[in-house]
Chain A
Amino acid sequence: METILAVVIGVLYATGIYMMLRRSLVKLIIGLSLLSNGANLLIFTVGRLTRARAPFVPEGADALQPPYADPLPQALILTAIVISFGVLGFVVVLFHRAYQTVGTDDLDEMKATDT
């Protein structure tokens, strides 16, 4: 399972970066969201993938018995998803506005402020 997810994460990163390198604003958004999803999945995998083992301390013991899936990374992902959702919402609006103001979605046309 780890292997499959590792490949998936790699593909997400690769496609995300490829999309970001394109000239279109829309593809840039897709690239950004793929990249953040890749990062989330990475944290998920790092927290170990163990099925059907709730992280409860059994009766009588005073520590978790491995194997168990660490719940903290999943809480982290939850936070990260919320943040990236909000940011992505902003980015979509910003890019729409950019399209309206500049009149194109070609990033190569938007270099008036570059030096």
Chain B
Amino acid sequence: MRPVLPILIPLMTAVAALLAWRWRGVQRGVSLLGAVALLVAALILLASVWRDGIQVVQIGSWPAPFGITVVVDLFSAIMVALAGLMGLAVAVYSLGSMDTAREEFGYYPLLHILLMGVCGAFLTGDLFNLYVWFEVMLMASFVLLVLGGERAQIEGAIKYVTLNLMSSALLLAAVGILYGLVGTLNMADLAQKLRSAHHPGLVTTLSMLFLVAFGIKAAVFPLFFWLPASYHTPPVAVSAIFAGLLTKVGVYALIRVFTLLFRHDVGYTHTLILILAGLTMITGVLGAVAQNEFRRILSFHIVSQIGYMIMGLGLFTPLALTGSVFYITHHIIVKTNLFLISGVVNRLCGTYELKNLGGLYQAHPGLAVLFMIPALSLAGLPPLSGFWAKLTLVQAGLETEQYVIVLVALAVGVLTLLSMLKIWTEAFWKPSTRNSQPSVNRRQLVHVFFPIIVLALLTVVIGLVVQPFFVLAERAADQLINPEAYIRAVLGGTS
């Protein structure tokens, strides 16, 4: 029962919020309560997976390869916990930042349906079911993206919707062909049967189809163009949850299928992933350096950071996967926080354009410090969380003697710092060009600042007390690189 709760709680919350359609206050309360419950359930799940190992629920008590299986290994549990944390952060932030019109048109139910889709994708052990959860997540994200109906939102949504539907069609085709080839969709069963597959060439071809389908969702080079075109258009709370979770679901799916299913020809597939990782980092960060708008810079940085996450997958050693898991953890927290801060900046100055910003350090030194923590962590400066994540990946790269990717990773880190400093000098350091201060509601600011402060503290804590988080990532990576435990947990003792 416990592994299913992170799916059920957001569903219940969304239903309750829908029932309270006319009462905005009730919806806000229900949303907050649901987000807290989700985080608690996710943390309990993480603790129990840490203690007792991989947990499995066979839905409807159908035995493993026939029914739909919910599997939680440590990687899934970490991702669900992060989803819960971001859900809560954004739910609190929304209370202070979302406008009344959007709240009245179902913002809260949609937010929780999105969380349900994300958690479902993390928890499922069935490939077709993964496709279904992707669709649930996408549908909610489509509506969240266009909610409000501003011109920029709709234009961004057209690209987002079209490319994501295309990726869904590819994923569906890939799943169908894989079923035709192997005759099962249960991931553990697939992993077992693919080892003795008769057509390794065909399996490699299929793995490329999966790479493209998940690559579009994860915004990997050269498939990322929908991301910087759409992520800066919706209200900032929506941008933040998208930035924190959606592309990471794609990365999760990539890591899952390329550690569990497609590991017959690592020399080819994972080298290709490594090359893509390098190109993703470079194009993302160069795009960011060229931008002059707060959220567009951050959007391009998502792309460049995705490169680091799949770099660990491409290197495919225990240390590298540890780095990937650690990087995802660090990145989700930091990136969501940066978007949330960009929302505060917009609230204070009324714009996201760097050239119109300025003087924030003088007016709000606290906010400047809060920006500096995640920004420097993103660039990978010690002693913040990003430093350890990058260090692990670089170390893994040196161990496997992939010097080019290490060089790229380090250079991209410097460029990241450069573009963070650009935001710093333009928005915070430069003297103010405005005379009037917009009026700010104190009570709303509590809702807005609370998640930002908590997430910034978390970044610092992960940086200073790195050991337990690293051990957690290490064990998660160990389960990924040795999938026997996963297979045995799902299929029983037969393997």
Contact = CB atoms under 8 A, between A and B. Distances in A.
B165 A91 contact: yes
A11 interface: no
Interface in B158-192: 158-159, 161-162, 165-166, 168-170, 172-173, 175-177, 179-180, 183
A53 interface: no
Interface string A37-63: 011101100110000000000000000
B248 to A, nearest CB: 22
B172 A113 contact: no
Taking chain B's interface residues, is the majority helix, strand, or loop, or is none over half, making it mixed?
A: helix
B176 A76 contact: yes
A102 B155 contact: yes
Interface string A67-107: 00010110010011001001100110011011001100001
Nearest to B225: A114
B50 interface: no
Interface in B273-298: 287, 290-291, 296
Contact of A42 (B142, B158, B177, B228): B177
A89 B66 CA distance: 32
A112 B173 CA distance: 33
A28 B128 CA distance: 26
Nearest to B178: A46
A42 to B, nearest CB: 5
Nearest to A16: B169
B230 to A, nearest CB: 7
Contacts of B452: none
Contacts of B143: 90
B152 A112 contact: yes
Interface string B129-165: 0011001001100110010010110111111011001
B161 A112 contact: no
A92 B149 CA distance: 15
A94 B165 contact: no
B180 A47 contact: yes
B350 to A, nearest CB: 19
Given A20-B166, A87-B135, A102-B151, A73 B158 contact: no
Contacts of B183: 70
Contact of B142 (A47, A94, A101): A94
A43 B183 CA distance: 12
Contacts, number: 110
Nearest to A43: B176
Contact of B177 (A46, A111, A112): A46
Give the bracket for the number of chain B residues in contact with chain A.
35 or more
B229 A43 contact: no
Interface in A3-58: 20, 25, 28, 32, 35-36, 38-40, 42-43, 46-47
Contacts of A113: 152, 155-156, 159, 229-230, 232-233
Contacts of B165: 32, 35-36, 87, 91
B176 A73 contact: yes
Nearest to B145: A94
A20 B162 contact: yes
Nearest to A110: B155
Contacts of A112: 151-152, 155
Given A42-B177, A97-B149, A101-B154, A90 B172 contact: no
Given A83-B132, A97-B149, A114 B161 contact: no
A73 B166 contact: no
B152 A46 contact: no
A111 B169 CA distance: 25
B162 A32 contact: yes
A46 B176 contact: yes
A113 B155 CA distance: 7
B172 A94 contact: no
Contact of B169 (A36, A47, A79, A91): A36
Contacts of A32: 162, 165-166, 169
B179 A42 contact: no
B179 A73 contact: yes
Interface string B334-354: 000000000000000000000
Nearest to A47: B180
Contacts of B232: 113
17 contacts: A20-B166, A32-B162, A38-B169, A39-B176, A43-B173, A43-B179, A46-B180, A47-B180, A83-B132, A83-B135, A87-B135, A90-B143, A91-B165, A94-B154, A113-B229, A115-B229, A115-B287
Per CB-CB distance, the 8 closest pairs between chain A and chain B, nearest first, are: A46-B180, A43-B176, A39-B173, A113-B156, A110-B155, A39-B172, A39-B169, A98-B154
Interface of A: 20, 25, 28, 32, 35-36, 38-40, 42-43, 46-47, 70, 72-73, 76, 79-80, 83, 86-87, 90-91, 94-95, 97-98, 101-102, 107, 110-115
Given A32-B166, A76-B179, A94-B157, 7 more contacts: A42-B173, A43-B172, A86-B139, A94-B154, A97-B146, A98-B155, A111-B155
